[in-house]
Amino acid sequence: MEQAYMTAAEAAKKWGISDRRVRLLCSSGKIEGIVRTGRSYQIPREAVKPADERTLRQKDIPAEYKSLFRRIDGKRDELLRRLREGGFCLEESHKEFLIEWIENSLANTGNDLSAEEIRTILNGYPAEGRPLRKQLEVLGLQDAFEWIRELAFGARLSESQLSEPQFPESQLSEPLLLKLHGLVLMDRRREGGRYRTRLVQIPGTEDESPQPFMVPVMLDWLFREYAEKKKKLHALETIPRLYMDFQWIHPFSDGNTRVGWLLANLELMRAGYLPVTVGADQTEEYYQGLKSYYGGKGEAPMIRLVAGLEEKELDRRLKETER
């Protein structure tokens, strides 16, 4: 299919900035895929306005991520613009995501409910012939996701309220974590919201987790360190680290991966991004990211995985709302 382009003047009108500003963005390499002919620029029609550099100046961003984060932030900002103008329904997006996330989450727990069965349960009907325990797992994940949405957006969950998104700050804490775990393990009330009492193997390594008596102390350290780092570092760098450090502590006997992604998605939504999920085709990359981090080779693979998942989700929603 032939690439569709727009002129600098058309881009300026679309993005609400001056023609001169668009040309400056083109000449400085901030817009990908442009074609220059003499003094004229042809800009891909699906291109979005790059993120405002002023929003990134207060963050310490490694050079290897600057271009990636700038591109993703530009797409995030464009989707938020469409949300404000009524061209994007966040509620529907989250409903679709919820089904995908639950299906991916349950795939690793031995729960073989299909996407259609999950959809039936979420609509308030039982999946005939399926064990109650498996259906309660779905309802628990639904309640947990709905709760982090409330934490991210406050009481503004109606369409009119979502037209002016804000992202309140509140600290991650032990009570929040234990409530999330209790919701995730809705089918096992005695286990939900309780820390493990034995050593377990850390995913992606051959190492054992920290001693059980250290779990509360290490979680307190993690949440405090994260609160400090997110003041200085970009969200797409701090959130993958938060997730991996949480998995290393591995506070529960079961449900750590699901709770870890709930924490990560809570922080992504607070920062204005869309929630993400690791599908079957990214499983190997996911474990390689954990292995690299825990093996002392760095966090870059997981950061790029999460950033890639976010960009993919943004591209998907932008394409759906393209005018």
With H, G, I as helix, E, B as strand and everything else as coil, classify residue 42: strand
Residue 47's alpha-carbon distances to 28, 35, 88, 93, 236, in angstroms, are: 15, 13, 17, 21, 21
**Backbone φ and ψ of 262, nearest 5°:** -65, -45
Work out the number of other CB atoms within 10 angstroms of the CB of residue 265.
23
pLDDT of residue 156: 47
User: 110-137 in b/e burial notation, b at 16+ Cβ within 10 A?
Assistant: ebebeeebbbbbbeeeebeebeeebbbb
Using alpha carbons only, give the angle 99, 104, 108 rounded to the nearest 5 degrees: 140
For 215, residues 6+ apart whose C-beta sits below 8 A from its C-beta are 195, 196, 249, 251
Q: pTM (2 decimals)?
A: 0.83
Strand order in the sheet with 5-7: 5-7, 40-44, 35-37
Show pLDDT as tens, one digit a residue, over the chain (323 residues): 456 887 878 777 777 777 777 777 777 777 777 788 777 778 777 777 776 666 665 667 888 998 899 899 999 998 888 888 776 788 888 889 999 999 999 887 778 888 899 999 999 898 898 888 889 999 999 999 999 999 998 744 444 344 444 444 457 999 999 999 999 998 888 888 999 999 988 877 777 889 999 999 999 999 999 999 998 999 999 999 999 999 999 999 999 999 999 999 999 999 999 999 999 899 999 999 999 999 899 999 999 999 999 999 999 999 888 75
Fold for the domain defined by 90-320: Fic-like fold (1.10.3290)
Domain regions of the chain by residue span? 1-47, 90-320
Whole-angstrom distance, CA of residue 323 vs CA of residue 318: 9
With H, G, I as helix, E, B as strand and everything else as coil, classify residue 41: strand
Assigned token pair, 116? 């259609």
What is the residue type of 212? P
CATH of domain 1-47: 3.90.105
